[in-house]
Amino acid sequence: MSSTEQGTSSAAPAEPTTAPESAAAPEVPESFYYVHGKDKVVHKVSAGALQHSALIHGMISNLGYTEEQAKANPFPFENIDGDILQMVVDWCNQHKGKPTPPEDTNLPKQKEKLFDLVLAVNYLEIKELLTYCCKQVAMMVKGKSPEEIREIWMIPTDAEDEAAEKEAKKRAGKEAAGETAAAAGDAK
């Protein structure tokens, strides 16, 4: 719609300013967008909730989609499991338009999902949730000994690292030798 059609051209008469100062500004209808994860289940999320994600906020800020266009073009996040995306969407909805308190009780608690959640949140660039999730990861090893930490965070010992490194070198050597042999065969 052009500015003339909106009636804001210089020729248009000025709007009377009789409204009392205390009158509330008319509410702008909230716009919604749609996202889906690996499971293709589509989630409807308000633009306000999506502001938490720097990635999505950047994507939608210049789109100007109508409701229909948004519905027809959900943002695909094929690298995020459906249940993880659901958690993220829930969190964004719960924190729409407000900052996260230092001790957020509305956060996903499932430890078994934490790894995927951290990766998804990192990808979607949701800074506050990322900080919380990383805090949860860090809390897993609070008061633990190195042996316990190795178990919780699946950290190989030096000997295991060395063995894996040797194995990788061996494999790389074999592959290189295989490639050389194949190249020699091709040459014949």
Partner 1 sequence: MPIALLKFPTDLRREVFQQCDPFQLYALSKCSKRTQRSIKLGGTRNWKLQFWGGNLIVASVDGLRYKFGKTENPDEYFKTQHAGRYVKYMGIQWGDAFNMFFYLLETFRIRVVETLGIYYGNLEKFLNAARELIERKIEVEVFHIEDTSEVKDMEKLMRLLNQMNISQKFTCFQKFSSNFHHNLEKFPKEILIHYSFWFTIDQLLECSCVRIELYGSTLSNQDIDLFLQKWKSPGSFPNLRWLQIESENIDNKSPILGMIPPIEHNHPPRTRVSLGADSSILNPVGVTKEDGTVGWMKVELATRSTLKFLVFNPIAPRI
1-30: which residues touch partner 1 (CB under 8 A)? none
Q: Are 45 and 32 in contact (CB under 8 A)?
A: yes
Q: Interface with partner 1 includes 55 (CB under 8 A)?
A: no
Tell which one of 109, 144, 171, 174 touches partner 1 (CB under 8 A). 144
150 counts as binding partner 1 under rule CB under 8 A: yes
Nearest to 32 by CA among 7, 60, 2: 60
Shortest spacing between CB 130 and partner 1, in angstroms: 6
Judged by CB under 8 A, the residue of 28, 138, 183, 187 near partner 1 is 138
6-14, 24-32, 95-103, 106-114 -> range binding partner 1 (CB under 8 A): 106-114
Note whether 79 binds partner 1 by CB under 8 A: no
Q: Which residue has the tokens 């993880």?
A: 84
- Joined together, the tokens standing for residue 132 give 């919380």
Distances (CA, A) of 141 to 16, 46, 109, 147, 148: 66, 36, 16, 11, 8
Residue number, 42 or 134, with CB nearest to partner 1: 134
Q: How far is CA 178 from the centre of its chain?
A: 42
Query: Considering beta carbons, is residue 139 or 177 the nearer one to partner 1?
Result: 139
* Selected binder of partner 1 within 34, 44, 51, 114 (CB under 8 A): 114
Separation CA 165–CA 31 (nearest Å): 52
Whole-number minimum distance, CB 142 to partner 1, in Å?
A: 6
Q: Which of 18, 23, 142, 188 binds partner 1 (CB under 8 A)?
A: 142
Q: Which pair of structure tokens corresponds to residue 137?
A: 């990861």
Among 145, 183, 184, 185, binds partner 1 (CB under 8 A): 145
Cα separation, 95 vs 103, in Å, equals 13
Instruction: Return the half-sphere exposure (C-beta side, CA atoms, 13 A cut-off) of residue 44.
Output: 9
How does 148-157 read in b/e, with b if 16+ C-beta sit within 10 Å? eeeeeeeeee
Binding site for partner 1 (CB under 8 A): 111-112, 114-115, 118-119, 122, 130-131, 134-135, 137-146, 149-158, 161
